[in-house]
Amino acid sequence: MILVVDVGNTNIVVGAMTGTDLIGGWRMSSQPPRTSDEYGVLMLEFLEQNNIKVSDIDDIIMSSVVPDIMYSLINSFKKYFNITPIIVGPGLKTEIDIRTENPKEVGADRIVNVVAGYKLHGGPAIVIDFGTATTYDVVTEDGKFIAGITSPGIRICADALWERAAQLPKFEIKKPENILDARNTITSMQAGLVYGYIGEVEYIVKKVKEELGREDLKVIATGGLGKIIQEGTEVIDIYDPLLTMKGLSIIYDKNKK
């Protein structure tokens, strides 16, 4: 059993995996930063809740887009698990050929998602991650990562409404059943945010298919708020909330073998 750890701008997502099967998973906020002891104690508590012993963990692999917390997090694994984690980055085998102008600029989380999408579902594909930012990453039939589109995440858009318009209240991010249900302030904001975001997703997918000349392009989505979008559109073929964890496990297997 291995631990897979995805460090994002909002959350640290941790999973205990056997192959691509999730044995137990949990998340904690990545802000504010914690000490190595705080991370270590939290990890041990999570394991205990899932009836997993430290001795059950054979190895750890991590991807991160938050460099500032990596020192404490890596040291927590060294101290509490006696394991130096594998970090996704240059030098690891992924079998994905990154063809962007500067491959080193591509976030580790995006590489992990593309690996999982391509390995599990094939290409050509566009892998959409509904995270702090929403990312659209395009992989060809022969495993080339050729383009990555980035837009503000749905929660960032909601935050902008709350922060920039003093009289608008905070609201739950959910899709009204019909857009014409927007008959009060809350449903008005929900309809504009969610239906507007669905429109963004559909248009970007349409343009990628058009410019690639592949109407058979698979559309694979992940990320916590992706389910809301997936339920409101037919352009998403596959929604897999565990895609990043599966990608980390796949990369681990490729490198250990």
Q: Could you tell me which of 252, 208, 250, 221 has the C-alpha nearest to residue 116?
A: 250
Pick the catalytic residue from 109, 129, 137, 240.
109
Q: Using alpha carbons, list the distances in angstroms from residue 19 to 1, 107, 225, 251.
A: 8, 23, 25, 11
- Segments of the chain assigned E as strands: 2-7, 11-18, 21-29, 59-64, 86-87, 97-98, 125-130, 133-139, 144-152, 218-222, 238-239
CA distance 192 to 72: 40
Mapped onto helix, strand or coil, the DSSP state of residue 70 is helix
32: cis peptide before it, omega within 30°? yes
Tell me phi and psi for residue 130, to 5 degrees: -90, 80
Q: Using alpha carbons, list the distances in angstroms from residue 136 to 167, 208, 226.
A: 33, 10, 12
Q: Residue 233, by phi and psi: left (phi above 0), alpha (psi -120 to 50) or beta?
A: beta
Chain-centroid distance of CA 239 in Å reads 12
- Residue 68 bears catalytic tag: no
Strand partners, 22: 17
**Which are the catalytic amino acids?**
109
